[in-house]
Amino acid sequence: MKKLDTGLSSVEGFSFSAVQAGIRYENRLDFSLIYSSKPCNASGMFTTNRVFAAPVKICKERIGNAIHGILVNSTNANACTGENGVRTAEMLLSEAENLTKSPAASFLNASTGIIGRQLPGEKMKHALPDLVKGLSAANGDIIPRAIMTTDTKPKSAAFSFTTSKGEFAVAGTAKGSGMIAPNMATLLTFVITSAPVAKKNLDEIFRRVVEKTYNAITIDGDMSTNDTAIVLSPQSGENLSSAEDLAAFEEALNAVCTDLSYQLVRDAEGGTKCVTVKVHGAKSASDAKLCAKSISQSLLVKTAFFGNDPNWGRIACAAGYSGADFKMEEIDVSIEGIALLEAGQPFETDIKTLEAVMKRPEYTIDVTIGKGGHSFTFLTSDISYDYVKINAEYST
Neighbours of 108 (CB within 10 A): 28
Neighbours of 165 (CB within 10 A): 15
Shortest spacing between CB 105 and a copy of itself, in angstroms:
23
- Radius of gyration in angstroms for the set of CA atoms belonging to the chain, rounded to a whole number: 22
* Interface with a copy of itself in residues 119-178 (CB under 8 A): 178
CB 45 within 8 A of CB 206: yes
- Determine the Cα–Cα distance for residues 120 and 142; give it in Å rounded to an integer: 22
Residue 345 contacts by C-beta under 8 Å, 6 or more apart in sequence?
none
Shortest spacing between CB 84 and a copy of itself, in angstroms:
8
Contact string (CB under 8 A) for a copy of itself, positions 332-371, x = contact: ---------x-xxxx--------x----------------
Please give the order of strands across the beta sheet that includes 374-381: 217-218, 374-381, 274-282, 362-368, 332-335, 338-342, 345-346
Q: Is 120 exposed, middle or buried (0-12, 13-18, 19+ CB in 10 A)?
A: middle
- Determine the Cα–Cα distance for residues 29 and 326; give it in Å rounded to an integer: 50
Shortest spacing between CB 112 and a copy of itself, in angstroms:
12
Closer to a copy of itself by CB, 90 or 386: give it. 386
* Interface with a copy of itself in residues 213-272 (CB under 8 A): 220-225
- Is 396 designated active site? no
Pairing of strands 217-218, 274-282: unpaired
Q: Active-site residue among 75, 100, 163, 186? A: 186
Strand-pair partners of 380? 218, 275
> Contact with a copy of itself (CB under 8 A): which of 5, 238, 243, 392?
392
Shortest spacing between CB 220 and a copy of itself, in angstroms:
4
Shortest spacing between CB 324 and a copy of itself, in angstroms:
8
- Determine the Cα–Cα distance for residues 329 and 370; give it in Å rounded to an integer: 9
Residue 25 within binding range of a copy of itself, rule CB under 8 A: no
Closer to a copy of itself by CB, 209 or 358: give it. 358
Closer to a copy of itself by CB, 65 or 349: give it. 349
Contact string (CB under 8 A) for a copy of itself, positions 195-224, x = contact: -------------------------xxxxx
- Determine the Cα–Cα distance for residues 106 and 93; give it in Å rounded to an integer: 9
Number of residues counted as binding a copy of itself (CB under 8 A) = 68
Q: Which amino acid is at 307?
A: G
Residue 50 within binding range of a copy of itself, rule CB under 8 A: yes
Residue 331 within binding range of a copy of itself, rule CB under 8 A: yes
Strand-pair partners of 176? none
- Contact positions vs a copy of itself (CB under 8 A): 47-52, 77, 79-82, 114-117, 178-179, 220-225, 298-300, 303-304, 306-314, 316-321, 324-329, 331, 341, 343-346, 355, 383-385, 387-389, 391-396
| Active-site annotation, residues | 186
